Structure 1
Amino acid sequence: MRPRNQDMQDLMQCSSSISLRALKEGSLLPLSPDSEVYRFTWMPSFHVPRSIRVEHRGNVYSLHVKEEGKDEGTLAIDRRILLTPTQWQALQQHLEEARFWTLDRFASPRSVVYVDGAQWLFEGGWEGRYRALDIHSPDPDGRAAPFYNLGAFLVELAGIPMTEGALY
């Protein structure tokens, strides 16, 4: 851990942009009026980044999962699956439990920058609004547990095999 300063904060934002570019993920905006979209980007220290984007457009629910490949500019995983309305409702429940749209902000209890662990970036777009929350390695038993549960749910929904303890 190191004290957070503006340079370190800028570096973290830059690394998020680099990961999203490597995953060939563009901006969630602009959104069409009849759509709702969420993206979870997991950027761990010792594993390749992954993104899971879920969308509701009209009456179609879909999930798009990507994993960065070993060679620059490649993706090891790039697949889209259709979701059921029941799966979409389960996602909505996780978002509500995390208070994704109503939480004023989520801040680490201390003003620090972590140099190990994983960056969890949650983004959402709905009804003309955009929201992003960046959480460092949420503790499944701590106050960030709803975000851990949301990320774990999306990983399971995407069919990404994870050994116990691998999602950090």
Structure 2
Amino acid sequence: MEELEYELSFYKSGEKWGNKKDIAYKILEVDGLNSRAINYLVEVYGRNNQRDSINVLFDNLIKTNSVNPKIYLIRASERNAYFSGLTFSQRINYLKKAKALDNENIEATYSLGKIYYELFIREFTNNKKKANLDHYAKSSIDYFTELCSIDEKFRETTKYPLIQLYNYRNEKTKSKELKLDNFQTSYFPVSAFVGLPENLETDFSVNVITNVSDFSVSGVESALFSINWYSEHLNALNEPVLSDTLPTKIYRFTYLRSFDNPIVIRLENHNDIVSIHWKVSNGAGGYEPGEIIVNESKELTTEEWRLIENKINSIDFWNLPSAETEIMGTDGSHWILEGKYLGKYKVVDRWCGGAISEIGKELINLTDLKIEKDKLY
């Protein structure tokens, strides 16, 4: 099975795309709900304008797996809906079937809330009669709040669309409560990576979940992609979440290069006792994090601390945008600098260093790490 799945995942030089349907069907003979095989077939048929073949495929799969919510979730996924031309109503029906089989299914509940939210945004921006706005807003709120009751970590994911929807419905108290909610489930707050318009609360035309189209707004899902990626590496490096339970002043530099070992450097100042800690894993910044292969620390002088702090102040670190919306390359590096000081927290993420490159290099110099020049990018 693994060999067959691997065969689907790549193409040899000169090999024609889409000629591996037989492999996908072999996989389905063993695993009738294999999402990789199903998605492959849907894309092949979709790109060849063979939507009837997609319908036949799913009719057979649903007939065989009618009591399994997974098949309805695969059918209603955004990607497969696009290739098969499903309407929003059709997607909603499939998702409701999945939820009827598993009422606390997270994917079904989130997807329903997201679809109704998107319908709300679309109808609001449409100049035609807005007859369904209240229904869409309430339905999205209902599914998103239910989602949070199933798993509270989604309080971060749904916070901003719910603020919009509550304001549209003039439920100001609930909107205010959400704005004050600083719930955090990971190393980084979603608020640091999501770029939203200042008039978010009254502009109901902006889709805060997915909007990245004009590079001025980064949606929640895009923010979560970065957060989950960086958090996976920090977790593998056994790093703490920066909080007030840690020494008073902390700066942490996470250095993720596409093809080289991930590095994290943490500088701490506890009552003028300064120390620097650095770790390296054997993975790659753009891939799996691997395991820790270097874990060292040493004391520094207060002068060395001031050197870093002066550099940080020189770029106005605490007021920099956490993330920039420039188009990034496929290969390169992410430089992530965090600061925690007297209850304040800040994170700045830059592609290939940017404004924080000199600080990152100085922190590397303060460790015993030796990085070749062509590996510093």
TM-score interval for Structure 1 and Structure 2 normalised by the shorter chain: 0.7 to 0.9
Deviation, structure 1 residue 106: 5.3
What is the rounded CA distance, in whole Å, between the counterparts of 2:308 and 2:314 in structure 1?
Answer: 10
Q: 1:19 to 1:89 in 2, by over 3 A?
A: same
Q: Which residue pairs with 1:56 in the alignment?
A: 269
SS at match of 1:94: helix
Q: Which residue pairs with 2:278 in the alignment?
A: 65
Q: 1:109 to 1:17 in 2, by over 3 A?
A: closer
What is the rounded CA distance, in whole Å, between the counterparts of 1:66 and 1:167 in structure 2?
Answer: 16
SS at match of 1:101: helix
Q: Which residue pairs with 1:46 in the alignment?
A: 259
Could you give the per-residue CA deviations for residues 67-100 of structure 1, whole angstroms, max 9, x where no partner exists? 0135976311101100011111111111112211
**Does 2:376 match 1:167?**
yes
SS at match of 1:47: coil
Deviation, structure 1 residue 127: 1.0
Is contact 1:8–1:113 with CA below 8 Å preserved after alignment?
A: no
Higher relative contact order (CA 8 A, sep 6+): 1
Structure with max Cα Rg: 2
Q: Which residue pairs with 1:125 in the alignment?
A: 340
What is the rounded CA distance, in whole Å, between the counterparts of 1:51 and 1:39 in structure 2?
Answer: 7
Q: Which residue pairs with 2:319 in the alignment?
A: 102
Deviation, structure 1 residue 49: 0.7
Aligned AA for 2:259?
Answer: F
What is the rounded CA distance, in whole Å, between the counterparts of 1:74 and 1:166 in structure 2?
Answer: 20
Q: 1:57 to 1:166 in 2, by over 3 A?
A: same
Aligned with 2:234 (options 20, 23, 35): 20
Is contact 1:123–1:131 with CA below 8 Å preserved after alignment?
A: yes
**Normalized per residue, which structure has more strand?**
1
Aligned-residue RMSD, C-alpha: 2.4
What is the rounded CA distance, in whole Å, between the counterparts of 1:12 and 1:102 in structure 2?
Answer: 21
Structure 2 unaligned regions, length at least 5: 1-211
What is the rounded CA distance, in whole Å, between the counterparts of 2:235 and 2:297 in structure 1?
Answer: 18
Deviation, structure 1 residue 107: 4.9
Deviation, structure 1 residue 113: 4.4
Q: 1:99 to 1:82 in 2, by over 3 A?
A: same
Q: Percent identity among equivalent residues?
A: 26
Could you state the TM-score of these two structures normalised by the residue count of structure 2? 0.39
Q: Which residue pairs with 2:295 in the alignment?
A: 78
Relative to structure 2, which stretch is displaced further, 83-92 or 68-77? 68-77
Is contact 2:233–2:289 with CA below 8 Å preserved after alignment?
A: no
User: Aligned pairs, how many?
Assistant: 158
Runs of 4+ in 1 over 4 A off after TM superposition: 2-5, 70-73
Q: Which residue pairs with 2:364 in the alignment?
A: 155
Q: 1:16 to 1:157 in 2, by over 3 A?
A: same
Is contact 1:31–1:126 with CA below 8 Å preserved after alignment?
A: no
Is contact 2:323–2:348 with CA below 8 Å preserved after alignment?
A: no
Q: 1:55 to 1:116 in 2, by over 3 A?
A: same
Q: 1:39 to 1:62 in 2, by over 3 A?
A: same
SS at match of 1:18: helix
Is contact 2:250–2:267 with CA below 8 Å preserved after alignment?
A: yes
Is contact 1:39–1:51 with CA below 8 Å preserved after alignment?
A: yes
Q: 1:47 to 1:58 in 2, by over 3 A?
A: same
Aligned AA for 1:30?
Answer: D
Q: 1:10 to 1:106 in 2, by over 3 A?
A: closer
